Amino acid sequence: MHYVIIGNGVAGINAANQLRKRDETSSITIISKESDHFFSRTALMYVLCGQMSPSDVEPYPRDHYQRMNFTRVRDEVVALSPSETSLKLSSGETIQYDRLLIASGSMARSAGWPGEELDGVGNFVTWQNLEWLTEKSRTAKKAVVVGGGLIGIEVAETLLAAGIEVTFLIREKWFWPIAMDQNEGLMIIDHMRHHGCNVRLQTEVKKIISQEEKVTGVEIGDGEIVDCDIVVATIGVVPQTGWLVESGIELDKSGGIVVGDHLETNLPNIWAAGDCTSVVWFNGIRRPEQLWYTSRDQGRIVGLNMSGDKRVYKRSTFYNSAKLFDIEYTTAGYVNFNFEGEQNWYHREPDTNRTTRITYLPDGSVTGFNMLGRRWDHRILVDWVDEKRQLDWVLQNLHIANFDEEFFPSFKIDTQALKSGVV
């Protein structure tokens, strides 16, 4: 049996590990165009800022592939031919598979700005992007970061720390509206400004200005020009599946590979996992889940399924965490799904950037938590959401889920605030 895995990301490597666990003898080939070793994409910013070396962000020892007897191919797959069960590589070679996993991840969404192709304009998703930005940040004086999401804030923070003047252009009214409400999003904006980041809200790029192929600025909505030497576009990611369009694999309208409950595609002996995959969410809507955690879980399950299991991939209750400059963020449950009649319990600890937001339904059962400035044990919060705990009970017991470092100022909500409900 020859298993072929396209993608050396978290989905691909987890699938490969599970396959090897089940099957010690079959040959397993991992194809990646990006890197020889699996690295943590989430840690790109730490290499950019010099906090870690490139090899520090490799989660497994270098000899992992040898020990597991994985064959690696460093090349780009350009076409899939299901009828011949083969892949075509950019080098012209073909690879035959018995069972195939597509875990090709996502790629930066193209912005479509005039001037986007210039050398001073780039993204921050791949290892090659990291090398590009590392090089540019050595000489750049001013940078424009476009797109108010997680990757954008990571890039802005890192470039600022490198002494570069950063203008952060955000299209929306506050930072990261798919995760934050107005209070939270504006608090983060204040915090960024406090750190010297020049944030412009409700601003979009019209075009890139350049002189002799060198970026000199960007023109924004009202015709104003913001000077800069580099532009980093972080306006989202899309499934990296363009090369599959003619293969007969079913893609959804975002380009995600449509899979069934077992992460199988519409074609025999082909599975998909990770960012490139479109799955059905808890609310019945089909779309990709572009997260480290879901990619990892999908990889583990698909590995077992490829070796003969029939496990259902069912996304557990949502959770995520992030660090926004130095403000830690944890979310659990469903805070931004606007359930009918949903209400917010919101509290900001006086004179701090520590906030607590709990969403709940008219019957009092909590649906989600959005927490900033403290650490929380998402496992407990997720359980409370699953158990449909009452808001009153949750507020009384919230300290149980606190996960702050020892000696961190302890979590207390004064009883007045508790009673009034609106804080």
Partner 1 sequence: MQAGLLQTYNNSAQRRGAGAWIIASLLFAFYILIYFTEAFTPVAHAIGLSGKWNLYGILYTIAILSGGLYFFKRHGNSRYHRYRTISVMLVQTVFAFSIPWFMELMQTRGFIFSLFWPLKIDYFYPSYIMEYPLPVILYAILGSLIIVPIATFLFGKRWYCSWVCGCGGLAETAGEPFRHLSNKKPGAWKFEQISIHTVMLLALITSAIVLINWGLGKEVNGVMVPMYPAFSTVVFKIQGIYSFFVVALLSGVFGVALYPILGSRVWCRFFCPLAAYMGLIQKLGRFRVTVKDDMCISCGNCSTYCEMGIDVRMYAQNNIDVKRASCVGCGMCAHVCPRGVLKLENKWDPNPMAEESKIKVFDL
Would you tell me which residues interact with partner 1 (CB under 8 A)? 10, 17, 21, 40, 42-43, 45-46, 49-53, 56-61, 64, 157-158, 161, 292-293, 297, 319, 321-323, 325-326, 328, 330, 375-379, 403-409
Q: What is the 3-state secondary structure (H, E, C) of 297-361?
A: HHHHHHHHHHCCCCCCCCCCCCEEEEEECCEEEEEEECCCCCCCCCEEEEEECCCCCCEEEEEEC
Here's the x/- map for ligand FAD, 2-41, by CB under 6 A: it reads as: ----xxxxxxx------------------xxxx------x
From the CB of 265, what's the least distance to partner 1, in Å?
26
* Residue nearer to ligand FAD on the CB measure, 243 or 384: 243
By CB under 6 A, which span of 263-271, 292-300, 304-312, 375-383 interacts with ligand FAD?
292-300
Q: Are 219 and 108 in contact (CB under 8 A)?
A: no
Q: How many amino acids of this chain bind ligand FAD (CB under 6 A)? A: 36
Given 44, 164, 391, 398, the residue binding ligand FAD (CB under 6 A): 44
From the CB of 53, what's the least distance to ligand FAD, in Å?
17
* Contacting residues for 390 by C-beta, under 8 A, at least 6 apart: 364, 365, 366
Closest alpha carbon to 240 in 302, 292, 290: 290
* Residue nearer to partner 1 on the CB measure, 117 or 405: 405
Q: How far is CA 290 from the centre of its chain?
A: 5
Taking the CB of residue 207, how many other CB atoms lie within 10 A of it? Answer: 14
CA distance to 13, 19, 28, per residue, from 70 (Å):
10, 10, 5
When computed from its CA atoms, the radius of gyration of the chain, rounded to whole angstroms, is 23
From the CB of 361, what's the least distance to ligand FAD, in Å?
27
Here's the x/- map for ligand FAD, 75-94, by CB under 6 A: it reads as: -xx-----------------
Residue 152 CA to residue 168 CA, distance in Å, equals 8
From the CB of 76, what's the least distance to ligand FAD, in Å?
4
- Residue 46, contacted partner among partner 1, ligand FAD, none, CB below 5-8 A by kind: partner 1
From the CB of 343, what's the least distance to ligand FAD, in Å?
28
Interacting residue ranges for ligand FAD, rule: CB under 6 A: 6-12, 31-34, 41-42, 44, 76-77, 103-106, 124-125, 150-151, 154, 240, 243, 274-275, 290-293, 295, 320, 322
